[in-house]
Amino acid sequence: MNEFYKAYTSLPVGNPMIEGIAPFLRRLAGPDVDSKLVSSYDLPSHIDSSYPKTYIVANEDDGTVPVANSKAMDAVLTKLGVEHITRIGSKGGHSFGLGNGLEVSGWLEEAVDFWRSTTKDI
C-alpha cells in the first residue's frame, strides 16, 4: 500500500488516474487519506519469516496496481528468506488471465507446481 500511495501522490494534478485511485484509498483509509493511515495496510511492513510460501506475478505496464508493489513484496520475502517465486513481465497490464502470448505465460501451472512442491497432501 505504501508503494500504491506513493504512486498516487506523485501523479500530476489533473491526471485521470487520481480519480481512479482516490475512491479506493478513501475506502481503505477514510476521507482524509495520508501515508500514516495507508501504512497500516502495507503488507510488506507486517510480515516476518513465518510468512507462507508465495507466488507473485505482475506486469510492468499494470495501470491498476503499480508493479512497485510486487517488487517491494519480492524484496521483503527475499530479505526474510521466505520461499517464493516472482515473475514480472514487461507487457500485459493488470487483467492478463493465463498470460497466453505474454512473458508470464504459464504462470498458473508454475504457481500450482510450486505450491504442490512445498505443501504436503496436495
Q: Tens digits of per-residue pLDDT, 91-120?
A: 999 999 999 999 999 999 999 999 998 777
**Percent of residues, the chain, with pLDDT higher than 90:** 51
8-11-66 Cα angle (round to 5): 50
User: In this structure, what C-alpha cell is assigned to residue 118?
Assistant: 512445498
pTM: predicted TM-score of the whole model, two decimal places: 0.77
Report the alpha-carbon distance of residue 71 to residue 104 in Å, rounded.
15
pLDDT digit string, tens, across residues 38-51: 888 888 888 999 99
- pLDDT of amino acid 112: 96
Cell numbers describing residue 12: 500530476
Q: Is residue 20 over pLDDT 80?
A: no
